[in-house]
Amino acid sequence: MGKAKAKAKQAKGKMKETAGKAMGDREMQVEGRGEQMAGKAQEAAHDAGERMGKSGR
């Protein structure tokens, strides 16, 4: 997954968390936080892959 998609997943998660807070929906808040964490993990994996590719040259 590309870095842009990972960032988009983080943004979607933040919006979901914020909407959950506004509506008092705890489950939606937790889902949003989970999406943010998944996006951050994907971004970190992408960055690590780039570093591995560059160090092998």
Q: Which residue has the tokens 């590719």?
A: 53
Whether the predicted pLDDT of 13 surpasses 80: yes
State the total domains in the chain.
Answer: 1
Domain carrying residue 39: 3-55
Q: Say what the pLDDT of residue 20 is.
A: 98
Closest CA to 5 of 34, 33, 46: 46
Question: Can you list the alpha helix ranges (DSSP code H) found in 1-57?
Answer: 3-23, 26-55
φ, ψ for residue 25, nearest 5 deg: -100, 95
Instruction: Give the model's pLDDT for residue 1.
Output: 66
pLDDT in tens, 16-47: 999 999 999 999 999 999 999 999 999 999 99
Q: What band does 53 get if pLDDT is binned at 50, 70 and 90?
A: confident
pLDDT surpasses 60 at 56: no
Q: In 3D, which of 41, 50, 57 has the Cα closest to residue 7?
A: 41
